[in-house]
Amino acid sequence: MRRVSLSLAAAVFAGAVVVAIAGIETRSGAQAPIPTVTVGPVVPPDIPGGAPSAQLAQAAAFAWQEFIALNWAAVPQTGKPNTRDTPDTTCAFDDPACASRPRVWETFRSKLEIFPGNFQPPNGYSASAPDFGYDAAPAYDYNVAVAPCGGQATPVPTAWVNLDESDQITIDSMFAGVGPQSSSINSDPQMIRFLAKANRTEYDYASLNKWWISVPSSVVTATKNYLAMATADPSPAPSGVPATTVSLPYGTIEMKAGWRVLTDAETKSGRFHTATARYYEFVYPPGKPRGYCWHQATFGLVALHVIQKTPTAPYFVYATFEQADNILTPQGKPVENDDGSIANAPVCPSGQASPCPTTPLEVLVDGATPLPNSTFPPNIALATPSASYCTANLQTRPTNQLYYLEEGAAGAQPTSGFICVNGRQNPIPQTIVDVNSSVQASIVAYEKAHGFAAPSPLTHYKLVNVQYVPYDNPQPGPFAGNDPTTSNNPASFYLANIVVETNRSLQLFNGGLVNSLVQGQYQGRFESPPTTLPGNPTHKQTMYAGHAYNMGGCMGCHGSQGQNPAGEAGNFSVILARGGATNQFPEPPAPIATTGAMPIARNRMLVSH
């Protein structure tokens, strides 16, 4: 049995309580030192002692400090300077009295508000305004007119949550079987939709350099040359000085979030943070090209990525959180507890051997020759070609469980049926579970000290894992390390959120996305010993301190798209690397065919991660 020792500091200040966590006795009996966690509104600037030398528990505490501060209620949004990104310290954490306020991170600018799709300066931009007009009210400027959908009441305040991505970087679409079966205003109410945002620091950097549409080719070339020479990113330019290479300032934060419609029972449960969200649908005017429209409705938060560039982690620290009830059994029971420990172990369906993270099981496929150049991860196939899908046909949706549908494009097969999620490819490490348990207990204690009648919704979110230092996997395939006290373990190396990076190629990503430098892992590279294709060298995509790494998970994907010398020179930021040219259209759900593949109805490739 774990013993959690908590002590509340006597001082209560500015709506914050310092919670000192003395330590946790792990199941092995060894003491895992857990740093002090502050329930307060200040985002930590770095992992104490430096990211490269941190233990996993220290990095997890840092991630929780970010989560708490970024989920603080923001000050009233008036459009005046320093209102976005600013916590209201008269509110307690997740204070019911401030529940109608957007959270601090929700007031960050949408990727579209930094890199508009209409090829114009961002909304509110002024060269002479403080922070270039960052604090203007939200506006989503695509390169096409997007009107309210039929039945949408207007006018309404523009939602801070702009769900303009409807799939997992064009690889698969994700659904929650427990969600509402139908809706008169939502074409697919079980679909999980996504957004990407960035903070004031990134906006100021892009606006100072006027990189709204794209980074100039001369700057991209200079950055790639520097990366190739130094095997590291250039240092950020001094504050206020235009950049000659791409290197975001320290303190840059980006967010990726997954949201879905809740059932009435889920809403009443008080276990989900909710917000008004704008989401998009296709319209088909008679005799005219297909267009777009928007609705606004209440959605529940199911996933949250936080990535921050710090002085000791120029490759960013990557943390991902989930709502506790994401993974359910076919009977609707939670697979994991609130802290990430196992509540109900997945039971494999008849005819499927353990482990069975999905039904049916997918594998990554070696080809006879290297894949052609592609912006998709490796091909996928069913482990047993004749295996049955999770439901008999595409007209029948799974109930309770998460499920996904691969998209009909190169690198995303099979596409003929739904695939149900039974569990994670890599379980949450015990160290993370222990930190979650401690921090969640400290938040509950804090809320009791503030007189809350019941635990707040945000006590039902858990850290899945955190990446804070790159590791080199000598070749794509199984990660060799397995130390649960550091990031040297498969779950940390292959950092993935179950509703943001769900299919096998994303749950086990390492290597690259563009085959000219070699893709991630193939089926043969999970064999013992791993096999590789002739002439297909390992892709090194993360550059730091003079060393090139074949990194996995979120860091590896951001490195492959945004940092590697053959990438797009975005300093690990995919939204900066891609720029406004990829934001020209919103992304409504593609219709699901009654037989065969889900058609690609996408407007851009690998926009954010």
Do 220 and 114 share a structural domain?
A: yes
What does the alpha-carbon distance between residue 373 and residue 356 come to, in Å, rounded to a whole number? 31
594 within a domain of the structure (yes/no)? no
Q: Is the peptide bond before 96 cis (omega within 30 degrees of 0)?
A: no
565 within a domain of the structure (yes/no)? no
pLDDT of 522 higher than 60: no
470 within a domain of the structure (yes/no)? no
Q: Are 387 and 293 in contact (CB under 8 A)?
A: no
pLDDT of 283 higher than 90: yes
Do 282 and 162 share a structural domain?
A: yes
Among 270, 304, 323, residue at a domain's last position: 323
Please give the full DSSP string across 432-460, using - where no structure is assigned. HHHHHHHHHHHHHHHHHHTT-SS--GGGG
Domain count, the chain: 2
Do 297 and 221 share a structural domain?
A: yes
| pLDDT tens, residue by residue, 14-61 | 344 444 343 443 333 344 577 778 899 999 999 999 999 999 999 999
pLDDT at 478: 77
Place 246 in a pLDDT band, splitting at 50, 70 and 90: very high
279 within a domain of the structure (yes/no)? yes
Specify the pairing of strand 193-198 against strand 109-110: antiparallel
- Report CA Rg, the chain: 23
Q: Are 493 and 466 in contact (CB under 8 A)?
A: no
Mean predicted confidence (pLDDT) in 97-119: 96
Place 561 in a pLDDT band, splitting at 50, 70 and 90: confident
Do 11 and 114 share a structural domain?
A: no
477 within a domain of the structure (yes/no)? no
Mean predicted confidence (pLDDT) in 96-122: 96
Among 299, 323, 347, residue at a domain's last position: 323
Do 169 and 34 share a structural domain?
A: no
pLDDT at 608: 53
DSSP H/E element including 195: strand 193-198
Query: Sign (positive/negative) of CA torsion 121, 123, 128, 132?
Result: negative
Q: Are 370 and 440 in contact (CB under 8 A)?
A: no
pLDDT at 18: 43
Neighbouring CB atoms inside 10 A of 280's CB total: 25
Q: Show the domain range for 260.
A: 103-323
Residues paired with residue 317 on neighbouring β-strands, in sequence order: 308
Do 314 and 238 share a structural domain?
A: yes
pLDDT of 262 higher than 90: yes
588 within a domain of the structure (yes/no)? no
Highest mean pLDDT among 9-13, 18-22, 107-111: 107-111
What does the alpha-carbon distance between residue 312 and residue 52 come to, in Å, rounded to a whole number? 7
Greater model confidence, 411 or 109: 109
The percentage of residues in the chain with a pLDDT greater than 90, rounded to a whole number, is 69
SS (H, E, C) 261-295: CCCHHHHHHCCCCEEEEEEEEEECCCCCCCEEEEE
Place 194 in a pLDDT band, splitting at 50, 70 and 90: very high
Q: Are 510 and 553 in contact (CB under 8 A)?
A: yes
Do 178 and 298 share a structural domain?
A: yes
Do 12 and 113 share a structural domain?
A: no
What does the alpha-carbon distance between residue 311 and residue 57 come to, in Å, rounded to a whole number? 20
Q: In what order do the strands lie in the sheet with 419-421?
A: 172-176, 402-406, 419-421, 358-359
pLDDT at 437: 95
Mean predicted confidence (pLDDT) in 294-302: 98
Do 108 and 67 share a structural domain?
A: no
* pLDDT, the chain, mean: 86
Q: Are 458 and 273 in contact (CB under 8 A)?
A: yes
Do 270 and 173 share a structural domain?
A: yes
What does the alpha-carbon distance between residue 278 and residue 162 come to, in Å, rounded to a whole number? 5
Greater model confidence, 413 or 551: 551
Do 231 and 157 share a structural domain?
A: yes
What does the alpha-carbon distance between residue 362 and residue 601 come to, in Å, rounded to a whole number? 24
pLDDT at 5: 31
Among 269, 296, 323, residue at a domain's last position: 323
Please give the full DSSP string across 6-66, using - where no structure is assigned. EEEEEEEETTEEEEEEEEEE-TTS-EE----EEESSPPPSS-TT-GGG--HHHHHHHHHHH
pLDDT at 594: 56
pLDDT of 461 higher than 80: yes
349 within a domain of the structure (yes/no)? no
Mean predicted confidence (pLDDT) in 112-117: 96
413 within a domain of the structure (yes/no)? no
Greater model confidence, 16 or 573: 573
Q: Is 140 helix (H, G, I), strand (E, B) or coil?
A: coil
Place 591 in a pLDDT band, splitting at 50, 70 and 90: confident
pLDDT at 50: 97
- Residues 63-86: b if buried by 16+ CB within 10 A, e if exposed: bbbbbbbbbbbbbebeeeeebbbb
Do 303 and 230 share a structural domain?
A: yes
What does the alpha-carbon distance between residue 173 and residue 191 come to, in Å, rounded to a whole number? 7
Cα 76 to chain centroid, rounded: 27
* Beta strands in 265-384, from DSSP E residues, in sequence order: 274-283, 291-310, 313-323, 358-359, 362-364, 380-382
Query: Sign (positive/negative) of CA torsion 177, 179, 180, 182?
Result: negative
pLDDT of 449 higher than 90: yes
Name which of 354-363, 488-497, 531-540 the model is least confident about. 531-540
| pLDDT tens, residue by residue, 332-368 | 999 999 999 999 998 899 889 888 999 999 887 755 4
Query: Sign (positive/negative) of CA torsion 389, 390, 392, 397?
Result: negative
Amino acid code (one letter) for 411: G
pLDDT of 3 higher than 70: no
Residues in the chain: 609
Place of tokens 């940092």: 563
pLDDT at 518: 41
pTM over 0.75: yes
pLDDT at 110: 98
